Amino acid sequence: MSDLLVDGLSGLLLALGCLFMVSGAVGLLRFPDFYTRMHAAGVTDTLATFLIVCALMLQAGWSLALFKLGLILLFIFFTSPAASHALAKAAQHSPLRLEPVAEQGADEAFPEPGQGTEIAEPALEADAANADRA
Amino acid sequence: MLAATILALLVVMVLALVRALLGPTIYDRILAVNVFGTKTVVLIAVICFTLGKPEFLDIALVYALINFVSVVGVLRYFEFRSGSRDQGAGRHEYTPGEGGAGS
């Protein structure tokens, strides 16, 4: 009974891991630019590995293999986000760089109380013009 | 179930290889190779359970380490190469007190 339960749980975890893995790979292949691809790969990578290694741990039982699998899981848990972060940082130093929103002008992004009306005025004028036209 | 997992892993590795060959930028290629390496670790672990040889797990463990070190090494090589846009400005962002968001 207990064996059946462990086998079933292990199979379920393996199936879930496969699902996440394949969806991540499809995202890696089909998403339009680098950062979305990195999102697909980085998110599913750790989760799918976690699920599959957990399923293997269930099948291993109490043995040395369990310890080694735990070690693999620990390494991947630390190294996979670190690698994703290093990749994103390297891409930020390249022509792929995404500009921060605030870089258009710190004043516009975080307006001072006195400057707020100055920025809002053109928008108000545009609204008034549209209203006249309509 | 283990056989199906091996099959799915192989399919995923092929898709990652396609992205690595296709990738327009070097970073896409590095990302795909990183995914490929992680999947290789899992593949070795699953194969060792299929064959019933727990010794193979050592190989998976070493492969996980080598994969991480190689990815970080390749990234360090490409991060500050001549191809990267104004390196000085990139470093400048990380100095405290001069942070990006107008602080």
Closest CA–CA distance from residue A83 to any residue of chain B (Å): 7
Q: What whole-number distance in Å separates Cα of residue A14 and Cα of residue A20?
A: 10
Query: Residue B67: its pLDDT value, please?
Result: 92
pLDDT in tens, chain B (103 residues): 889 999 999 999 999 999 999 988 889 999 999 999 999 999 999 999 999 888 889 999 999 999 999 998 888 888 776 454 444 444 444 444 444 444 3
ipTM: 0.74
Q: What are the extents of the domains in chain B?
A: 2-81
Closest CA–CA distance from residue A77 to any residue of chain B (Å): 11
DSSP per position, chain A: -HHHHHHHHHHHHHHHHHHHHHHHHHHHHH-SSHHHHHHHHHHHHHHHHHHHHHHHHHHH-SSHHHHHHHHHHHHHHHHHHHHHHHHHHHHHTSTTPPPPGGGG-HHHHS--TTTHHHHHHHHHHHHHHHHHH-
Cα–Cα nearest to A45, from A70, A75, A20: A20
CB–CB of B32/B12 below 8 Å? no
Cα–Cα nearest to A41, from A50, A52, A32, A29: A29
- A vs B, Cβ pairs < 8 A, gives 151
pLDDT in tens, A56-87: 999 988 889 899 999 999 999 999 999 999 89
Q: How is residue A68 written in tokens?
A: 């080694």
Q: Does residue A102 belong to the interface with chain B, where contact is any CB pair within 8 Å? A: yes
Q: Which of A18, A75, A86 sits opposite B4 (nearest CB)?
A: A18
Query: Residue A108: its pLDDT value, please?
Result: 52
Q: What whole-number distance in Å separates Cα of residue B9 and Cα of residue B16?
A: 10
Which of A9, A13, A46, A68 to mutate to probe the B interface, most B CBs <10 Å?
Answer: A68
Q: Is the pLDDT of residue A102 over 90?
A: no
Most confident stretch, A91-100, A117-126, B4-13: B4-13
